Amino acid sequence: MILSDRAEFELARKLRCKAGAPIAEVFTFLSGLYFRGKIAYATAFARPAPGIASVFVITPTRGLVDAETRIRLDDLREFATVDIHNDDPRYRAPIERDAHILANKLPPRSEIILLGSIATGKYVNVLLASFGDRLRFPVDFVGRGDMSRGGLMLRCAA
């Protein structure tokens, strides 16, 4: 629906314009409650280090992207060409690069909170190499599905 050139709702129009739309807004539209919960939670509780973005989105091809970064329809189509899988260097290499850069910029005792899936290694395995024991996730995520985690994060952020 959002990829259609005939889509006339505001977000679809933004994606077709030169300025684009914030990646957080686009991903919230695409995944609904789950991503909306992650963004609300991250925005409410992030404590950024000076001069460093505090909320990042994991993308299939661009690594860790500031949640305010604007993307266009072509960017979204690019994301759709790559599955998020540890063995795919098109996914893994950009995240490893960005995680390494971020780990070196952050103060030593900074904690990085992963709000993505922890049941598989698709995020954890890639991020652990750079963040080590600074990588954390909410303990209440264990045993919950995506929608349950999304609802939990929305309630916590409210």
Q: What is the pLDDT of residue 90?
A: 95
- Which residues on adjacent β-strands are paired with residue 58? 64
Domain limits of the chain? 10-145
* The model's pTM: 0.89
Quickly list DSSP for 94-121: HHHHHHHHHHHHS-TT--EE--S--SSH
pLDDT tens digits, one per residue of 116-140: 877 778 899 999 999 999 999 887 7
